[in-house]
Amino acid sequence: MMTHPLFLSGQRYRASGLDQRVIYLAAWVVESPAAFETPQYRASWGFADWAPHITDWSRNLFRGPDTEAPQRLEDLRAKRPDVLWMPVVGLDRSCPAIGLRRLAAGAEAARLPDTLAAGIRQTVYTPITPRRRAA
């Protein structure tokens, strides 16, 4: 993917704690949503070496943290400023938002308070590839 236009960086992860129903996560930083419409992306789309591990999948596009968000997401941002909360803005839209937070090695993940956690899947992911950047 790093050779495709508009892809800036990416890394793959595996679930390692809390809710582990979504086992794998690939996070890509793109310059714009147009990255998913280039001829290079469309020609190479698929799972390649990862195909045997994929049983259920979706593609979601999230907007960075400097954007307005629904009230619930704003409440999460206020109560958990240590988490990078981003609303879904495109592709499959299989979830309304994503929250990301880096944990120190060996640190335990803090669950959201029950008042905020309704309907939110909380998962800990561990990197399984190095973070790659476009040349």
Task: Look at the pTM and tell me if it is higher than 0.85.
Answer: no
**Exposure letters 83-97 (e unless 16+ CB within 10 A, then b):** bebbbbeeeeeeeeb
Residue 106 within any structural domain of the chain: yes
Provide the number of structural domains found in the chain: 1
Per-residue pLDDT tens digits for 11-57: 999 989 888 888 888 899 999 999 999 999 888 877 777 777 777 78
Residue 77 within any structural domain of the chain: yes
Is the model's pLDDT at 129 over the cut of 90? Answer: yes
Residue 98 within any structural domain of the chain: yes
Residue 2 within any structural domain of the chain: no
Q: For tokens 């998913």, what's the residue?
A: 36
Facing residues of 90 across strands? 61
Residue 113 within any structural domain of the chain: yes
Q: Can you spell out the DSSP letters for 16-43? A: EEE--SS-EEEEEEESSGGGGGSHHHHH
Distance CA 85, CA 74 (A): 9
Q: What residue numbers bound the domain in which 92 lies?
A: 7-130
Token pair, residue 27, equals 């996070």
